Structure 1
């Protein structure tokens, strides 16, 4: 399958994100963000499956408040990187430092309690539960060791937190609907709401616009921009117009290694990145 073209799609520019204004805004903000200490950094992150290196010596730093895109051809190591970061995979070697703590190798439930949340490439919701129940369960998962005296108050707080998360992702008023009855775009946004209900500092979005219509994609891009005001976001996304319109910085992986890193305009003009995408 051919890789995505990095050149701007000017014929569709009025319909999709990634306008010159959005790129200028990204450049302006990234200069401020780079002055911030990294909330996340990896040092020599390596994952081997037998003799195959899925990640090889990946080192990067993400400032607090940044939207960082991780892109690359299929098999480049993007999902492996997310899996290491969220505790699904244990790295062979290297460090993952979040908020000053090395979290490499910690189990996923421990990492989630350290304010890292993730949405998945394949929608990961409870279709037979209501929209509110999906988010309530996530909100409740971060509250443990309740005393019996505080149980009612804690439950009330959980419901309030769940409703706030649903409002943040545009699903207010749909609390009592079954998740299975939502549109594809609404289900993807519900998954973001589930992640927000855990009150993360770092949100990892795995192809959040996959399978969406143009209108749904635009709405999701605006949603990500809105919630990013209080978060650091890592995003894996194949739609280059989405990437160029959202990301402050882009890291390009290829065969498990960092091929390039820079601002959207720099990556767009990078001949090595163009070669990798055009030859796949």
Structure 2
């Protein structure tokens, strides 16, 4: 589904991603982890078109998307939810989702008209139902709880029916109950099928619980990859990121 080949991005003398090659099969759930500064967000920025790699290829279903505008990359099937939610904070949840649907079609003026496009309303409610936002349809987005704002940010990506969804720290800033609800929602969304999901996450309990495959970055390079058990017990990953459990310290 999605493959990156030897991508490199430098900012002056700092190499943020260094010769990265990764493969994300269709319908897979993959985590990308690593310490702060490892290059994770830069990696997402390159996939979504916010940054252009200095070299390398990013292939979506075999098509190289490097250099395409972010709007075109969205149309081809890559959606993204951000660590800090990017919302239309003066609009209701329903209006936000209808706006996201209509904007790529050049029909945003019809969004708040007396007779909104029926198909956009139906799709908006379909996604709200999926994410548990239906009861918040008429709430102004800026008045939502932190957890619901994160859900709406995800909904804005999902409403365009992406093939690949990038989730940047979906549980950041949440309390235990919100965090558990969010990860159950993410996992259920993936289990439904038809979506290749890639997440950046610092909560290792979540990463090890739901990920099929894990890539570990360190200083822009691929340090390790494998299943949860393989990564959890990898000496290089333990040293660079996970640390040694207290009970094992001599």
1:162 to 112, 115, 124: 124
Q: Distance in 1 between matches of 2:83 and 2:225?
A: 23
Q: Which position in structure 1 is the counterpart of 2:208?
A: 244
1:145–1:136 distance in 2 versus 1, CA, 3 Å: closer
Q: Does 1:61 align with 2:35?
A: no
Aligned ranges for residues 112-261 of structure 1 at < 5 Å?
112-144=74-106, 155-228=117-190, 229-261=193-225
Identify the residue that residue 72 of structure 1 maps to in structure 2: 34
- Give how far 1:140 is off: 1.6
> In the TM superposition, what are the counterparts of 1:69-108 in structure 2 within 5 Å?
69-108=31-70
Hey, what does 2:231 align to over in structure 1?
267
SS of the aligned residue for 1:177 comes to: coil
SS at match of 2:76: coil
Residues 54-108 of structure 1, C-alpha deviation per residue, up to 9 Å, x if partnerless? 1110001111011110000000000000000000001000000011100012111
CA distance in 2, matches of 1:167, 1:145: 24
Which fold has the larger relative contact order, with Cα–Cα distance below 8 Å and residues 6 or more apart in sequence? 1
Bigger shift: 115-124 or 154-163?
Answer: 154-163
TM-score (norm 1): 0.81
CA contact 1:142–1:198 (8 Å) conserved in 2? no
Query: Normalising to structure 2: TM-score of the pair?
Result: 0.91
Mapped to 2, the partners of 1:274 and 1:195 lie a distance apart of 34
Please tell me whether the aligned partners of residues 141 and 198 of structure 1 are also in contact (alpha carbons under 8 angstroms): no
- CA shift for structure 1 position 51: 2.3
Q: Distance in 1 between matches of 2:115 and 2:48?
A: 30
Q: Is the 8 A contact 1:259 1:273 kept in 2?
A: yes
Are the structure 2 counterparts of residues 222 and 81 from structure 1 closer, same or farther at C-alpha, using a change threshold of 3 Å?
same
Distance, in Å, in 1 between the alignment partners of 2:103 and 2:74 is 10
- How many residue pairs end up in the alignment? 238
Q: Secondary structure at the match of 1:122?
A: coil
8 Å Cα contact 1:251-1:260 kept in structure 2: yes
Aligned equivalents of 1:48, 1:272: Cα separation in 2: 24
Residue 278 of structure 1: how far off its partner (Å): 5.1
Matched residues in 2 for 1:214 and 1:162: separation?
28
Q: 1:265 to 1:42 in 2, by over 3 A?
A: same
Unaligned runs of 5+ in 2: 244-250
Partner of 1:36: none
Distance between the aligned counterparts of 1:221 and 1:183, measured in 2? 16
* Separation in structure 2 between the aligned mates of residue 153 and residue 40 of structure 1, nearest angstrom: 39
The CA deviation at 1:145 is: 7.9
